[in-house]
Structure 1
Amino acid sequence: MTNSKQNKSKKILVAFYSRDGHTRKVAKLIAKRLNADIDEIEDKKPRKGLIGFLIAGYDATRGKTTEITFSKDPSDYEIVILGSPVWNGRLTPAVRTYLLENKEKIKKACFFVTCGIKGGKALTQMHEIYGGEVLGEKVVARKNLEEEARRFAEELKSMI
């Protein structure tokens, strides 16, 4: 069986939160390459503008959760690929909340984070909260967003 046939037989979800579009772009690219469903996690707390940006970094640093909405049930999928921006070197409150609310529903996971240079503690925090089997992970630097996203999708194809 070829990798593309294997991927089509597995039900995959790419769930993500994106404040300013970088993580959304990566998530869409991965979902397209893996023929996966996609679900955007929405943070109900205002995060736009300078004040929103400062509060976002503070909330991430403090490990806070937030009120979120999303539309797809992760328990309907064999693999959930979860993406988040990195805020102040840490996981966003929206993805922290998603993992806390859904970690028992996620059978197998892959993680990616988007950031300027380094992922900081974000991937480690995702692992700690989830606690289950993680098939792959990637820090996607914004300077090579599309290239790194494509490369990660190809790596995932061979893993899943």
Structure 2
Amino acid sequence: MAGRIVVYSRSGTTARLAEDLAGRLGCEISRIDPGRYGWPVLGYMRAGRDSLREYRPAITVTPPVQGADWLVIGSPIWTSYLSTPLRSLVDQRADLPPILGVFTTSGGVDEQKNVPLQIDGIGAAGAIPPWLSLTTKTHGTEAGEDKIAAFVAQLQSQIASIPPGG
């Protein structure tokens, strides 16, 4: 059964977590490219503005996710919300394999109060998928490792329950 991690990462923090999760789950990574947040300071400012305005950029996902049996999606948090590139992906969920889990990263403060509303109903069969939230202060710590291990265990349980070919 082939799964895939789909991630957007502007600075590389979320991409590093995606690589860790992909290694533990034995799956490949697809990267989201919105083509608009590359400039260091200007890109950061544009990302914040777009997030507050709920702008959805056009995205490309490489490699494409067609053919995967399930997805786990990851995003940094911008202004208390999932990044706009990941929101664009979630808007396409009717055309995607089932989303089994969501992981997010944020700066030093866990300001993710709006994420539960954004992931409500995007999981397999309209469920709320498991959610891993790490800050830069917890990623790489024992507490962070415990959260990652629990998240992976939840995902592995879901993966094991997917019928072959389904």
Residue 126 (1) aligns with residue 122 (2)? no
Which among 62, 69, 80 is matched to residue 89 of structure 1? 80
Greater RCO (CA < 8 Å, at least 6 residues apart): 1
Which among 32, 44, 49 is matched to residue 58 of structure 1? 49
Shift of residue 152, structure 1, vs aligned partner: 2.3
Which among 2, 7, 17 is matched to residue 16 of structure 1? 7
CA distance in 1, matches of 2:157, 2:101: 13
CA distance in 2, matches of 1:50, 1:65: 20
Match of 1:155 in 2: 154
Structure 1 vs Structure 2 CA RMSD: 2.1
CA distance in 2, matches of 1:52, 1:159: 37
- Give the letter aligned to residue 120 of structure 1: K
- Structure 2 residue runs of 5 or longer lacking an equivalent are 160-166
- Kindly tell me the number of residue pairs found equivalent between the two proteins: 150
Q: TM-score, normalised by structure 2?
A: 0.79
Match of 2:131 in 1: 137
Q: Deviations over 1:139-160 (max 9, x none)?
A: 1222121324344223322333
Q: Is 2:119–2:128's contact at 8 Å kept on the other side of the alignment?
A: no
- Structure 1 residue runs of 5 or longer lacking an equivalent are 1-9
CA distance in 1, matches of 2:65, 2:119: 16
Tell me, what secondary structure is at the counterpart of 2:118? helix
